[in-house]
Amino acid sequence: MLHFLYSLFFRIALPFVLLRLWWIGRRNPDAWHRWQERLGYVERSDEPVIWVHAVSVGETIAAAPLVKALLRRRPDIPILMTAMTATGSARARAMFGDSVRYAYSPYDTPGAVRRFAERVRPRALVIMETELWPNMIANTYRGGVPIFLINARLSERSARGYERVASLVKPLLRSLCWIAAQADEDAGRFLRIGAQPESVSVTGSIKFDVDITEALKAESANLRAQLGAARPVWIAASTHDGEDQQILAAHKTILASFPEALLVIVPRHPERFDDVAALTEARGLRLARRSVARGPLASEIQVYLGDTMGELLMLYGASDVAFVGGSLIERGGHNPLEPAAWGIPVFSGTHVFNFETIYQRLLDDQGVQLVENADELARAICSLIDDPEALKAYGERALAVVNKNRGALDKVVEGITERL
């Protein structure tokens, strides 16, 4: 009954969803481009594909090492990547070029999902993290296609929410061929809300398997030389509205002690690039944009706006200290392992419930520091700039946590290929 009501509600809401998509597309045209795909009208596939679904840019980045490994392990099966957001889709294209296919995920109505599946002919569906779309899962399962929930995480808050709609969630979980959970706590919560014990394993998080190539190191070193090798550089990554103001306030405090310091700020969503540029200049800070600035950066520039796609990992490597956004506001945080893998100190706000297990492992080994506000962040960064040995030790602890927890990727790829 709940599934029927869910589908009915989605059908009724669909015109308003499309209207909102059109509205967003006025500022970000790619969001409206290819809108037919969201109704299941995608290019037909000549052969079955491995369908990898990552709802947004964070999950798309997390899926990257898995997709690369599947391409190596099963080059005979094409891979189709889907995302719900324009940013996620663009990020996938930047990472993989022509080696995989791309489409927007169909909206979760029975008709859209059915049309999508008929056209792409999935041989397997790999869902990143916790994207439990009822019609997507039910339709795929009825087609006899194995469904894998990979890098699965489930916070206590989400588990309690799912328990309130147990009659809807339990059949979905029992349609999954395999749930590869990040941690024991995640696995326990999946079991509590109805997953079958034989379908749940604890593999760890593939986000620990960050791949920093030699080419990326060279690109990052080249950028750092352009930014200024001797000046302190800190990055505020994946920031949201409501955080940028706090980040800029922290930077002004840092500049009072270290006038040569440079902030690299990277908003989470590209449609906010211009807003953050305007906000920076309104605060009286001198700005350069990554998309425009080339060659050595003038010493009077105080803020460097990362307004390009697909370069965040490289920008981390050009920095001395990282702040990971979505955490000074109640957004739930973003992935801190990319800066940690560069061996640089990592800071976040206290709202990191979306990455609870990862942050706890970093906290246990003093590989991350959580701050309450801009003042705390500024003081912490100033103390590290003033103490190079402490900065180095902090970064080494963060890197050690990443290295200690590597290996989930091999377990996940092996598990998927065995079950194929």
Question: Could you report how far apart the first and last alpha carbons of the chain are, in Å?
Answer: 32
SS3 331: coil
198 carries an active-site annotation: no
Query: Residue 203, SS3?
Result: coil
Strands 303-305 and 262-267: parallel
How far is it, in rounded angstroms, from Cα 160 to Cα 344?
A: 36
**b/e for 91-127, b at 16 or more Cβ within 10 A?**
bbbebbeeebbbbbbbbbbbbbbbbbbebbbbbbbbb
**Angle, alpha carbons 337-339-340 (nearest 5°):** 60
| Distances from the Cα of 139 to the Cα of 111, 135, 299, angstroms | 10, 6, 58
Residue 30 CB burial class (10 angstroms; 0-12, 13-18, ≥19): middle
Q: Which of 37, 59, 185, 338 is catalytic?
A: 59
Nearest-CA neighbor of 228 among 175, 288, 173? 288
Task: Return d(Cα 331, Cα 335) in angstroms, integer.
Answer: 12
Residue of 212, 211, 266, 256 lying closest to 234 (CA atoms): 266
Q: Active-site residue numbers? A: 59
